[in-house]
Amino acid sequence: MSTVPTQSPQTYPIDRIRADFPALQQQIRGKPLVYLDNAASAQKPNQVIDTLADFYRHDFSNIHRSVHTLGERATAKYEAARDTVRRFLNARQTEEIVFVRGTTEAINLVAQSFGGSQFKEGDEILISAMEHHSNIVPWQMVCQQTGARLRVVPINDHGELILEEYQRLLGSRTRLVSITHMSNALGTLNPVKEIIDLAHTREIPVLLDGAQAVPHLPVDVQALDCDFYAFSGHKLYGPTGIGVLYGKRELLEAMPPWQGGGEMIRTVTFEKTEYNELPYKFEAGTPAIAEAVGLGAAIDYVEAIGWDHIAAHEHALIEYATEMVHTIPGLGIIGTAAEKGAILSFALDRVHPHDIGTFLDHYGIAVRAGHHCAMPVMDFFKVPATARASFGIYNTLEEVDQLIHAIKEIIKVFG
Ligand code: C6P
């Protein structure tokens, strides 16, 4: 389990937090909703929903284009959200914060712009065996375009990265390391500081896929010294369609734009285009304006609860859930890393994960069943799929009890 400060769950304002989330107040199939699919996407608090609605009601306009009052107001709110993200990641400058659609787009941007302009035949990109498809396929695509090669750091039976292998694979041909901060399929928290420091001894830049990490722990890109960091707003209790690529300024400056269009230019003639400055060089077209403002509200919301509180609460949930599932015969946990976030992937003897998911839905319990867009992880553990309960700030120990009860019912029904 992750080593976070322990704190009595009683001091956590769970009732107030749950009251902020309208979606949690509903019944599913006659039962109160137990939402345990937070790793796929989290529900939204009123503070985010109201920010979006208010923005559309009063402030909406396109940005960076118009001198009228709404144009200036919308631009100010969008740029204020960028500064909120900068503070959230402790980035040095807002120029280092690029708004994108989500983690997937952020990684594709780096693959196409950084990789497409720098990788050559024989170069190597290092990823790990626990990556989401979003941190595999973009690299395969750029490898095809450039002749570079993908190398994969193996994992052990607990779902932990094998650091000695990582060190062995880091070599003179390695041009970039791209690793997940927290695995979506296993819950593993990777030793990212060590990974970065080892790569930097060879001056190799590191991208961290932070999609699963940012909702659970504070991220400080300066302390980590990562070169790129990618995350999505929707897993952080924010809107869909908005995410962030953090990049060190000197790297982003040197990278060519990856999409052309409005906003990313300074001057255009038919002969020549001069590109805009950072971060606009990477934000072609009208961006997700309201969603960026909503992401700012989501960040304010989680920060107001406080990371120590969130970490202690989620730690209590995953510890308790893990302890309870150990009492269920025929249940296997996929992903037993010593350092783990609030994700519980499991399989039952004789019951397909999709049947688990469907059955749990009859109890009002939402989990994800499938390969979690991490098919190589399923291959490694020799399972077609898993059922995955993933916890968030609003889940309770009682909900864990409901999950455990329902799993026991499944076993009774399926024998
Ligand atoms: N994982 C899950 O159920 P997007 O779709 O761009 O917001 O995030 C992609 C992504 C990248 N990396 C990791 C580690 C992820 O977990 C995800 C999204 C979801 O696990 C949906 S497949």
pLDDT at residue 77 is higher than 50: yes
DSSP 226-253: -SEEEEESGGGTS-TT-EEEEE-HHHHH
Tell me whether residue 39 is in a domain. no
User: In this structure, are 361 and 222 located in the same domain?
Assistant: no
Q: Assess whether pLDDT exceeds 50 at residue 8.
A: no
Question: Which range marks the domain in which residue 355 is found?
Answer: 14-32+306-414
Specify the residue with its C-alpha closest to ligand 1, atom 1. 40
- The percent of residues above 90 in pLDDT, for the chain, comes to 96
What is the distance in A from the centroid of ligand 1 to the CA of 237? 14
Nearest-Å Rg of the Cα atoms of the chain is: 22
Among protein residues, the one with the nearest Cα to ligand 1's atom 21 is 40
Stretch 287-302: mean pLDDT: 98
Residue 43 lies in a domain: no
For 304-320, the pLDDT digits (tens) are 999 999 999 999 999 99
With 90 as the cut, is the pLDDT of residue 2 above it? no
* Ligand 1 atom nearest 106 alpha carbon: 6
Same domain, residue pair 318 and 299: no
Task: Please check whether residue 377 lies inside any domain of the structure.
Answer: yes
Assigned domain for 9 exists:
no
What is the structure's pLDDT at 383? 95
State the pLDDT at residue 9.
58
Cβ-contact 203, 214 below 8 angstroms: no
- Which residues does the annotation mark as catalytic? 373
Tell how far the Cα of 102 is from the centroid of ligand 1, in angstroms. 9
pLDDT tens-place string over residues 39-49: 999 999 999 99
Same domain (yes/no): 293, 382: no
pLDDT at 415: 74
With beta carbons less than 8 A apart as the criterion, state whether 313 and 329 touch.
Answer: no
Spacing, Cα 274 to ligand 1 middle (Å)? 34
Last residue of a domain, one of 260, 288, 303: 303
Q: Once rounded to an integer, what is the mean pLDDT over residues 253-277? A: 94
Q: Point out the domain boundary residue: 303, 336, 364.
A: 303
Q: For residues 313 and 225, state if they share a domain.
A: no
Is the pLDDT score of 254 beyond 50?
A: yes
Q: What values do phi and psi take at 370, rounded to 5?
A: 155, -160
Atom of ligand 1 nearest to the CA of 185: 20
Instruction: Please report whether residue 260 resides in a domain.
Output: yes
Classify residue 101: in a domain, yes or no: yes
pLDDT, average across residues 122-150: 98
Within 6 A (CB) of ligand 1 lie 39-40, 102-104, 132, 134-135, 180, 184, 209, 211-212, 232, 368, 372-373
Pair (339, 199) in one structural domain: no
Nearest atom, ligand 1, residue 373 CA: 22
- For the chain, the domain total comes to 2
113-129: average pLDDT: 98
Give distance in angstroms: CA of 285 to centre of ligand 1. 24
Between the alpha carbon of residue 5 and those of residues 189, 210, 251, 316, 363, the distances in Å are: 16, 21, 36, 10, 33
Among protein residues, the one with the nearest Cα to ligand 1's atom 2 is 40
CA-based torsion, 192, 195, 199, 204: positive or negative: negative
Confidence tier at 197 by pLDDT (50, 70, 90): very high
- Per-residue model confidence (pLDDT) at position 29: 96
Tell me how far apart the alpha carbons of residues 251 and 240 are, in angstroms, rounded to a whole number: 27
CATH of the domain at 287: 3.40.640.10
User: Please, are residues 229 and 89 in contact by the beta-carbon 8 Å criterion?
Assistant: yes
Residue 216 lies in a domain: yes
